[in-house]
A and B are shown apart, each in its own frame.
Chain A
Amino acid sequence: MCEWCERYAEGHERWYFNPANYARKLYKIRKEEGPEIQPDPVVAGGMSLLDRGFLEALDRKDHEAVAKMRHDVEQLAWKVHFGQVVTLEDTLKVVDIIYPIALMTCACRRSMLGLPDEENFTCMGMGTGMYKWERWPQTYRGGIQFLAPDEAKDVITKMNKRGLVQTLFTFGTPYIGGICNCDYPDCSAIRTTVDHGIQFLWKGHHIARVDNELCNGCTSCVHRCQFKALSFSATQNKAYIDPFQCFGCGLCATECSQEAISMVERASMPALANVW
């Protein structure tokens, strides 16, 4: 079972359907239980917890050092700020739970591409904290735009269509304060998870399965996968999905005109039920 559901679902189907997790206090982390490593503000936007030391250890195959750093960073991230992949369907349900929702600029893409604010409105902040956005002009560069629930759903659906993956992020776990719309390589959570094996991003509650009877080999799903899970079998002329690498975002499924890809519950597959 998903660890976060176990701890924070409190009777709801998933932890992110529990309204209490949107009503908690932002970043309420007591000093004594605070993390040992502190994020480095100098290089904010996803570069802050992993330095060159980690990459060097990876490069010289120092597995012990890598494992230790991975462990420390994950422990901190899970306490403070991490994400889980969600399908479009689940994301739209979340929109019905929480108010207000506001569109804001993406810190990752600013950090990796220097994307100008007006081209960078792909993140969503949620909860009463958004009413205080003006206190933090740097975090909310370019301002914010409050959205009615229907507008939010529309914007998220369009971003999914564009090829961006929906993820939910904590700000002081289990407080969920953001819906991000991510892609590789400029989303630092996807990148760190996929490239460095550090679990900033947890896999979602679904996985994608291809029905080979229905797949006509058109390949239009192949470019949708941001997690290196989806490839194409030239031999069979069918899409191929590695179920252990699939993060369950559903982007491939929403693109398939043959309805050849279905999203099934991770929990229904015994060998995948605990693969996060």
Chain B
Amino acid sequence: MLPTITVDDKKCNDPLACRKCLLICPSHALGLGTKVGPRKFKEIDPDQFMVAGVRYEKCTVCMDCVKVCPKSAIQVSFLTEVKK
């Protein structure tokens, strides 16, 4: 089983400037991406950056990112399988 990490992109609107979650994660499990690829002569708008789970296999569900996020944008959950 892997944890689920979801980031509400509407709440998290300038992650490159904030980056609190990226810095606090002990596993470096989160990453920063962009919704558009590089384009000629154009910088990418700050609100086109987004945080997402990357190294799910290293996430321990410690909730540090959830707690540190000033916008309450991150949810982390871990569903243990029910044995039949």
Contacts and interface: CB of A to CB of B under 8 A. Distances in A.
A binds B: yes
Interface in B27-62: 28, 31-44, 50, 52-58
B31 A43 contact: yes
Contacts of A134: 41
A41 interface: yes
Contact of B34 (A42, A56, A58, A136): A42
Interface in B4-23: 15-16, 18-19, 22-23
A55 B5 CA distance: 14
Given A43-B31, A59-B57, A114-B32, A135 B41 contact: yes
A76 to B, nearest CB: 16
B39 A56 contact: no
B38 A138 contact: yes
Contacts of A44: 33-34, 37-38
A220 B34 CA distance: 39
Contacts, number: 83
A275 to B, nearest CB: 25
- The contact size tier of chain A is 20 to 34
Nearest to A186: B28
Interface in A26-50: 41-47
B8 to A, nearest CB: 16
A70 B65 CA distance: 30
A228 interface: no
A47 B16 CA distance: 16
If over half of B's interface residues share one DSSP class (helix, strand or loop), that class is named, otherwise mixed; here it is: mixed
Contact of B57 (A41, A58, A114, A139): A58
Contacts of B31: 43, 45-47, 111-112
Interface string A103-147: 000000011111000000000000000000011111101000000
B63 interface: no
- The contact size tier of chain B is 20 to 34
A52 interface: yes
Contact of B33 (A45, A59, A141): A45
Nearest to A192: B55
Given A42-B35, A113-B19, A114-B16, A185 B52 contact: no
A191 interface: yes
Contact of B52 (A43, A110, A136, A138): A43
B34 A55 contact: no
B56 A52 contact: yes
A114 B37 CA distance: 17
A39 to B, nearest CB: 9
A112 B15 contact: no
Contacts of B1: 59
Contacts of B40: 135-136
A58 B55 CA distance: 12
A178 to B, nearest CB: 15
Interface of A: 41-47, 52, 55-56, 58-59, 110-114, 134-139, 141, 185-186, 191, 195
Interface of B: 1-2, 15-16, 18-19, 22-23, 28, 31-44, 50, 52-58
10 contacts: A43-B33, A45-B31, A46-B31, A111-B32, A112-B22, A113-B19, A114-B22, A138-B38, A185-B55, A191-B55
